[in-house]
Every structure is written in C-alpha cells, then in structure tokens.
Amino acid sequence: MTGDQVPTITKGTDSSSKLLGKLVPAGFGRDALVLASGTALGRLVLITTLPLISRLYLPEQVGQWQIFVSLYLVLGPLVCMRYEQAIPLPRNDRDACSLLAACVALTVLVASAIAVLVLSLGNDLLHVLGIPAASGWSLVLPAMVFLLGVEQSSNQWLTRRGAFWTMAAGRVIRPVGVCAVPLCAALLGRTDTVFLVTGSLAGALLAAALLAACVLARDGRGLLQGGSLQRMRLLVTRYRAYPLYVVPYGLVSQFSMRLMLFVLGAYATQAVAGFFAMAVQLVIMPVSMLTGALRTALYRKTSRDGLGGQLGAFVTARLECIAALLTPPVFFFLLHGKSLTMLVLGPRWQYAGDFAVWLACPAFVLFFTAWLDRLFDVAGRQRLAVALQVVYDAVALGGFFALLAAGTEPRAAVALYSIVTVAYNLAWLVVVFKVSGFALVGLKRPALIVALIPCALLAFHLLAARLLPAASLPWADGSAAGGLALTMGLHWRVKQEQHA
C-alpha cells in the first residue's frame, strides 16, 4: 500500500445494533441511550456493592484506596497528551490511524517514564501522600497508567466507528473488576487495603483488554497498514492545540477534586478523606452516568455537523429536560441526604452524609455543564477553557486549602468549595453559550424550572411537617418529588413531539 492510499476499515454492525435501529432512530439520541445504558449498568454494579464495601472496609482504608486511585487519574491527561480526543476528527481513516498510533506510542513513553520515576523514588512516592501502609503499591501505578492510555485511545477510535455498544460494554466490565476483587477477598476473611487497589487494577485491565481487542478484531488489518511515521509527525503538529490547551485543562480539572483528597488526608485524617471519597462516589455517580454519555455523543455530532444549524435549540431543549427531571430529586436529597447516606453506607459513615449534602449542589449544576465542555474544542477556544478552569481552581481550591490549613472544620471547607463551584458553573454556562453562538434566552426556561420547583416542594414539605409524623416525612417528600419529576418529564416529552 502506498502512502496516499487509505486503508479499508469496515464499520461492522452487530445484531444488537440492528435491533436497536428498528426501535430507536439513529443519531444522537440512540448513541446517548446506548452509552447511558452501559454507564448505568456499570454504576448499578457500584451502587449495589458500595454498601457492602462500606461495611466491610474501614473509612481509613477507603481513604488510602481513593488517594492512590486519584494519583493515577491525575496523570490521565498526560498519557496520550489528549491526542486521542482528535481521533474522531479526521475525514479519512489514514489520518485517524496515524493519530491512534501516536497515542499508543505516547502511552508507552509516559508509562515508562512513570515506571522509572517510581523505581527511583521507591517508597517515598506514596509516603508523601500520607499513606505509608500503601508504599508497596507504587509499582502498580505505571501499569494502571498504561491501561488507562489503551482504554482512552480505544474509546475514541470506537467513537469514530460509532461502536457505542462496545464502549457501553467497557463501562460495565470495569466496575465489575473493581468491586469483585475486594468482595471476594472479604469472603475469604481478608479486608486489607491492598485488595481495594488490586480491584482497581483488575477493572482497568478488563476494560482496556476488551476495548483494545474489539478495535483489533474490527479494524486491526487497516490499522496496521494505515499508520505512518510521516503522517504521525504531521498530525501531531496539526492537532498541537490538544497538548497545549486540553492537557492543561484536563490536568487542572482532574487535580481539582483529587487535590481535595490529598489535602484532607494531609490536614485532617485518612478517615475524613475516606468519608469525602464515599460522598463523592454517591453524589457524582449520577452526574457521570448521564453527562459522560451525552458528552461523547454530542462531540461526535458536533465533530460531524459543526456548531451551526439547530444545535443551539437542541442543547437548550436538553437543558430544560435535565431541569425538569432532576430538580425534584436533588431538592429531596438536600432535605434528607444525610439520613439516606447513612442508610446506604451504614451508621459509621454519618460524617460522609454531611459532605454529600453539600456536594449535591455543585453536582446538580454539573448536570447542566459537564457534557458541554467539548464545545470549547469544537469552537477552537481551548485557551479560554483553560483560563476559566485555572481561575476557578485558584479560588475554590485556594479557599479550601486556606480553611483547612487554618484548622477549620473540614465540612466548612467543603461548603465553601461547593458555593464557589456552583457560582463558577453558572457563569461557565453563559460563557459556553456565547462561545458556541447559542442564544442566551434559551437559558430562561431551565432557570425558571430550577427556581420554581424547589419553592413548590418546600411549601409541600412545610405543610407535610405539620400534618404528618416525622417518620413519614421522607416518604411524603419522596413521593412528591418523584411525582413532580414524572409529570414534568412527560410534559417535556409531549412538547418535543409537538415540535417534531
């Protein structure tokens, strides 16, 4: 094959895709539905096993585990230097093959560099993070970084191919590995922290192996023939905005929440870090379940169609749907989140309930913003995205660190962080609308829904508190919130059908 020829890569279609195509029209909605289903199943695995893990393992052990996981996730943006996000963009498969080859090469280089660093520093690497009991795990770090790079690259290639069923399977198999190892160890009478870390390694290995195997099975011959060193150099230069702007943005974004764990472990205790980590798992799980699927499908849509056309109206309609469906349950959680957290995790996790209630507010706002971040990439405004993130982190994390360093109670520091995060994301939503050329008036209806529903539910709560015994109040509030969410969702669906 000559350098000018494009390798032949078949898209392939499995029976499940054909069946879904008959039930749900092709396009953004179906793509998001498939990914959301896979994410939901994976989250369901975590949700069903978290109560078991929280009762089998101590908060200190969970804190050590999550600090270690945070360390490798912080390194995630460096693995492929974010070139993997450009894989869906080229119009021909030859360039996409070369980008994939570049991502694999970068993954090997970064993982090797981390391995050298780990071998050089030895046990001191994790002692710095305040987890000396975990020092022997440092050698696991480069392996997890390598698997993360394989998973990221494979995911983006499958996004290009539209293989959302395979991607959904990867989102299910990872949490299976994460949870199976520590639970099996507990059945054998071993509840050491090392089994939590081993579970994370097993989940990463299963997900990376599945996705990479599917990529090679579908397109392996074309990939081997399509990449070339010359094209790699050309494309690395063409898409240099990704390492220049998207990598700093990713590092800052990942470092934001992860740094809070490191700081809590250093200035409070590992148990407090464990409480915070569990609260994040409970509150952020629904956010990542929805926004992860929406982000991937929206990026594919905008990469193909650009920012023109009816995209603004499409995004606004989805924001209205999110406001209608999620405002009632979030308000219910604000009222009863502490008791719900204790019910799910167990009585000794009461402190995590306080964190969860405060984190519910920024998590709610993230439902509106987290899936729109790739619009900065499509609009070529990565520099602005980085600048906004840096300013936000300086304020939010600076205040969080200052309060803890001054000896303030950790819940107060988390409260400050939550308030700053809500204000930032509201401003960020306005900015992304302007950058994308969407009409700001489209935010009016979602804002009204978010403002009016809590007023109605609060009035109901105050009335029910006068008429019902305290034990019945959560059930009454939950019924009201669920009924209102269902009603609002059906109203939105009928409205969309009328406009179709």
Question: Mind listing the pLDDT tens digit for each residue in 407-431?
Answer: 899 999 999 999 999 999 999 999 9
Share of the chain above pLDDT 90, in %: 38
Looking at residue 255, its pLDDT comes to 73
Mean confidence (pLDDT) of the chain: 83
pLDDT digits (tens, 9 = 90+) for 90-139: 888 888 888 898 999 999 999 999 888 887 775 666 666 656 555 567 77
**Per-residue confidence band for 18, with pLDDT thresholds at 50, 70 and 90:** very low
Hey, what's the torsion of the CAs at 481, 487, 493, 495, to 10 degrees? -120
Which residue type sits at 141? L
* Higher pLDDT pick, 5 / 462: 462
DSSP annotation of 409: -
Q: Is the pLDDT of residue 307 over 70?
A: no
Distance CA 257, CA 280 (A): 9
- For residues 322-342, give the mean pLDDT: 93
Q: What does the angle CA 165 – CA 171 – CA 176 come to, to the nearest 5 degrees? A: 125
Q: Is the pLDDT of residue 209 over 90?
A: yes
Q: Is the pLDDT of residue 328 over 50?
A: yes
**169: its two tokens:** 């399977």
pTM higher than 0.85: no
- For residues 38-65, give the mean pLDDT: 88
Q: Is the pLDDT of residue 21 over 70?
A: no
Q: Is the pLDDT of residue 163 over 90?
A: no
DSSP annotation of 5: P
Which residue type sits at 170? G
The crossing angle, in degrees rounded to 10, of helices 247-267 and 382-405 is 10
Distance CA 296, CA 300 (A): 6
Q: Is the pLDDT of residue 247 over 80?
A: yes
Residues sharing a CB contact under 8 Å with residue 219, sequence separation 6 or more, in sequence order: 9, 10, 157, 161
- For residues 375-380, give the mean pLDDT: 78
Phi and psi (nearest 5°) for 379? -80, -5
Q: Is the pLDDT of residue 28 over 60?
A: no
- For residues 275-298, give the mean pLDDT: 79
**400: its two tokens:** 């969080």
**Per-residue confidence band for 26, with pLDDT thresholds at 50, 70 and 90:** very low
Q: Is the pLDDT of residue 152 over 80?
A: yes
* Higher pLDDT pick, 269 / 54: 54
Distance CA 305, CA 299 (A): 10
**Per-residue confidence band for 285, with pLDDT thresholds at 50, 70 and 90:** confident
Distance CA 88, CA 239 (A): 12
Q: What is the SS3 string spanning 206-268?
A: HHHHHHHHHHHHHHHHHHHHHCCHHHHHHHHHHCCHHHHHHHHHHHHHHHHHHHHHHHHHHHC
Distance CA 316, CA 319 (A): 5
